[in-house]
Chains A and B, each alone.
Chain A
Amino acid sequence: MTGIVALYIFMLAAFTGYEIIAKVPVILHTPLMSGSNFVHGIVLVGAMVALGGAVTPLEKTIGFVGVLLAAGNAVGGYVVTERMLEMFKSSGARKKTGGGH
């Protein structure tokens, strides 16, 4: 990937992120923050590559910590977001499933 192509990707992704969030209702702010927190858990693949290429004990140690933290970010982010969003139901959906209690 050349530098200028990377810059284009960066620019387009930045506008995409802005547009996605622009019309989000306040009721979803907390789950959405949690959801975007999950998405940057993609750092896991970078940490895997860094640890996969590590040679010295120092590199291996830092790489190991990196993968450990990244996996925590991805899995923890997913679990809490899913738990929150699972609870969001409309009156109609609730009646269908036999009420909240």
Chain B
Amino acid sequence: MDGAMNTPGIFSPRLLIDISYFLTACLFILGLKRMSSPVTARSGIVWAGAGMVVATLVSFLYPGMSNYELIIAAIVVGSIVAWWSGKKVAMTDMPQMIALYNGMGGGAAAAIAAVELYRAAYANEAGEAVHHSTVVMALAVIGGIIGAISFSGSLIAWAKLQGVINKTLRFGGQKFVNGLLFLGSLAVGVIVVLHHGADPLHVSMIFGLALLFGIAMTLPIGGADMPVVISLYNALTGLAVAFEGFVLDNAAMIIAGTVVGSAGTLLTQLMAKAMNRSLANVLFSDFGSSSGGAATAVTGSMKPIEASDVGVMMAFAQKVIVVPGYGMAVAQAQHKVWEMCQLLIEKGVQVKFAIHPVAGRMPGHMNVLLAEAGVPYDLISDLEEINAEFETADVALVIGANDVVNPVARTDKSSPIYGMPILNADKAKNVIVIKRGQGAGFSGIENGLFFLDNTRMLYGDGQKAVGELVNGIKAAG
């Protein structure tokens, strides 16, 4: 796109667009900055949203545009469907919804690349002059490949977390096939770049192979690792958007896409670190299918306790630390838990929530679920803050959490979770574990915490058990 637009005056549409995009870029960066602190987070998304509205409206003024009715129709339909689905989705299903919206962004970036590349391909076939430099063609191809991978990969991630796909597809030579798909897409891309667009068939092959690679790469990854993958695809979409921004000479897309690309990459690393996994491990190993090997057998027995006794114990405690896990959210017990904690706080008991980085289905997910129930964020502590406090706690109430409080992670080198940082719930004077039955956890690993002398098991459905605790606390006076 050249800079010479129809009116060179001060109020040319191009200048208005450029200034608006500048404003949008500022609002995005400030908005993201505000989103990184709980106090200002809410205003952050509103600022970024204002930037998006400004950029979208001003883009209608682009000189030489047509198809306005199609543009408006697509925006209206896409917005309504997304608005409705976003308002409706349950907080527990948030990870897969983010994956879905992210995949749509990747698909849009790929679509921009496809329009540009098909145009070049048909022009080349007809023997017309090319209007893109080699660098621009290359960026369009790379952005298109990344966008397509993010699109199909995110859809698979959504399908797996949503339970649409339950199987984890693995076969011998899988990495070889995946590598072939990726390199194939790249190789055809090189042909298209070097031959000024080549022909439409080659362009189709780039996208076809990239889409297949996204599917093939995501299928073997287990559900527990999926949040890291979603975060990675989020960063990749940002990068694809930035590349297509270069193609369209659009500074807002370059800046926003690159910021998300780098922030998303760092976020992916932070998440992988919180889960004690390297990114390469998540992408190329088969954690979900490992049988755990011959872990040392845990000795001792599980000792049951009645809800009324726990109620009394907590009502007369000085300090209670609640350790929630995803099981609590599945049982929809978070509202009851907060009701119980409010009772305890009224009695003068100090109550805190201890959140493991991977509690819930992705880092920070449990905080969202507790916030939904009304728990103020200053009662919630993460692992580093709270671990030293367990020794001074009278009761550690573990509800729906398992592997993240398993002391085996500290001691047993043969355990698959060895080395993972855990919450030191076992250091509390009394440990109460609310659990449905006697089975092993999500990963199938036996939990040493359940067999300790200071641990008592309260069996039952999470919501019902906590309801009984509420009655127990009330009865204790």
Contacts and interface: CB of A to CB of B under 8 A. Distances in A.
Interface string B32-50: 1101111101101110110
Using C-beta atoms within 8 Å of the partner chain, give the interface range for chain A.
35 or more
A75 B78 CA distance: 8
A71 B258 CA distance: 19
A3 B244 CA distance: 14
B257 interface: yes
Contacts of B119: 59
B266 interface: yes
B44 A26 contact: no
B79 A26 contact: no
B260 to A, nearest CB: 5
A63 B69 CA distance: 13
Most interface-central of B59, B91, B102, B271 (chain A CB within 10 A): B102
A99 B472 CA distance: 23
Interface string A1-37: 1010010011001111110111111111111111111
A18 B258 CA distance: 10
Determine chain B's interface SS by DSSP, over half rule. helix
A3 B266 CA distance: 26
Contact of B242 (A10, A53, A67): A10
B194 to A, nearest CB: 19
A74 B36 CA distance: 19
The A interface is mostly helix, strand or loop, or mixed, namely helix
Nearest to A52: B65
B363 A26 contact: yes
Contacts of B31: 35, 39
A66 B118 CA distance: 14
Interface stretch (B292-300, B369-377, B448-456): B369-377
Interface in A77-101: 77-91, 93-94, 99-101
B424 interface: no
Contacts, number: 390
Interface string B361-372: 011110110011
Contacts of A29: 267, 270-271, 274, 362-364
Contacts of B271: 29
A67 B115 contact: no
Interface in B224-278: 230-231, 234, 237-238, 241-242, 244-246, 248-264, 266-267, 270-271, 274
Contacts of B323: none
B266 A31 contact: no
Interface stretch (B80-88, B281-289, B393-401, B412-420): B80-88
Interface string A56-73: 101110111111111111
B357 interface: yes
A82 B108 CA distance: 22
Contacts of A41: 52, 101, 105
28 contacts: A3-B135, A6-B254, A9-B251, A26-B355, A28-B367, A37-B102, A41-B52, A42-B55, A43-B105, A45-B250, A46-B241, A46-B248, A49-B248, A51-B67, A52-B62, A52-B68, A66-B107, A67-B71, A67-B75, A67-B78, A69-B105, A71-B78, A76-B86, A79-B82, A79-B87, A80-B94, A100-B375, A101-B374
Interface of A: 1, 3, 6, 9-10, 13-18, 20-54, 56, 58-60, 62-91, 93-94, 99-101
Interface of B: 21, 24, 28-29, 31-33, 35-39, 41-42, 44-46, 48-49, 52, 55-56, 59-60, 62, 64-68, 70-71, 73-75, 77-79, 81-83, 85-87, 89, 91, 94-95, 97-98, 100-102, 104-105, 107-109, 111-112, 114-116, 118-119, 122, 135, 230-231, 234, 237-238, 241-242, 244-246, 248-264, 266-267, 270-271, 274, 338-339, 355, 357, 360, 362-365, 367-368, 371-380, 382
Given A36-B267, A53-B115, 10 more contacts: A26-B363, A26-B364, A27-B367, A28-B35, A29-B363, A41-B105, A60-B70, A67-B71, A81-B35, A88-B42
